[in-house]
Amino acid sequence: MALKHRKSWLTACTLVAIAVGVGWTFAQPGTNQNQSPAPVNLLPQEALLFVTTDGSLAHRDAWEQTAAYQAIEESGLEAMFEKVIDGFHQLAAAQGAGGFVSLGRTALIHLRDHGLSLAATVVPQQNGPPTGYAILVLHDAARFEETVAQLIMGGTQGELDFQQADKAGRTVTFAVIPDSPGVEVGWWQESGHLVLVAGIQAVDSAIAVATGEAPNATTHPLYQKYVAGEHDFEV
């Protein structure tokens, strides 16, 4: 049974990894992140792992006024970097790998500009093993849900029975991993973002946070102490 449990979690983690890759690949820049609620509001308060980056677009004006940015611009390093990337792309295209390099470049641009948020939580149980789930929020990537869904479903090769259901006004796609203690994976759009979850009761737990029925990460004392303050570039 323990082996099955480990296999279930491995499968769930693999699906999350696929989602990270395809989300970065197909979510191109262009949406103003300030139009959507802060993704950190979707992360659970009791998270043991908490990672968030809001991307460079949110700080671009301040960054462009720093001495470091001016030095890079005046030295021509940024222009040279672009030329190197373009040259590498052309070389890869000649070898038949141009598409892969283009996707990788798009992924890096999206990560730089929009960022992502990630959290994982474990909830101890009085009777039985602990439960928990992981949540990944791809910022401003809701419009690419269909592409991400197709790639995830293709990656599982029909081993999971994906279904759709309305949950708190959200169209959620999810599946329970066979031979697991109820480990499920799922995704949906949330205020312009794309949310992906994996774990035991992951969908309901994450939606409870999104709707305010459960506390989010911003209410944790450590978040208030170390993260809530402004930490922009100094000019």
Helix (H) or strand (E) holding 227, with range, is: none
Say whether pLDDT at 24 is over 50.
no
3-state secondary structure of 99: helix
Query: 60: closest CA among 104, 21, 115, 105?
Result: 115
For residues 207-216, give the mean pLDDT.
95
Say whether pLDDT at 31 is over 50.
no
**Model confidence over 167-205: pLDDT tens digits?**
999 999 999 999 888 899 999 999 999 999 999 999 999
Alpha helices in the chain (DSSP H): 2-26, 60-64, 67-75, 77-94, 98-114, 145-156, 202-211, 221-226
Record the pTM: 0.68
What is the pLDDT confidence band of residue 103, given thresholds at 50, 70 and 90?
low
Give the whole-angstrom CA distance, residue 210 versus residue 191: 10
Read off the amino acid at residue 71: A
Please give the pLDDT value at position 111. 64
Give the whole-angstrom CA distance, residue 47 versus residue 132: 9
What is the pLDDT confidence band of residue 230, given thresholds at 50, 70 and 90?
low
Give the whole-angstrom CA distance, residue 70 versus residue 68: 5
For residues 146-167, give the mean pLDDT.
86
For residues 89-96, give the mean pLDDT.
65
CA 134 to chain centre: 11
For the ranges 129-143, 166-180, 216-230, which has the lowest average pLDDT? 216-230
Q: Are 16 and 136 in contact (CB under 8 A)?
A: yes
Angle formed by the axes of helices 98-114 and 77-94, to 10°?
Answer: 150
Beta bridge partners of 189: 194
Please give the pLDDT value at position 26. 40
More confident residue, 185 or 222: 185
Its sign, for the CA torsion 216, 217, 223, 227, is negative
For residues 100-128, give the mean pLDDT.
74
Q: In what order do the strands lie in the sheet with 131-138?
A: 49-53, 116-123, 131-138, 193-200, 183-190, 170-176, 163-167
Q: Where are the domains of the chain?
A: 2-226
What is the DSSP annotation of 29-83? S-S-GGGS--GGGGSBTT-SEEEEE--GGGGHHHHHTSHHHHHHHHHTHHHHHHH
Say whether pLDDT at 101 is over 50.
yes
Say whether pLDDT at 6 is over 70.
no
Q: Are 205 and 183 in contact (CB under 8 A)?
A: no
Say whether pLDDT at 67 is over 80.
no
Q: How many CA atoms lie within 13 A of 66 on its CB side?
A: 11
Please give the pLDDT value at position 128. 77
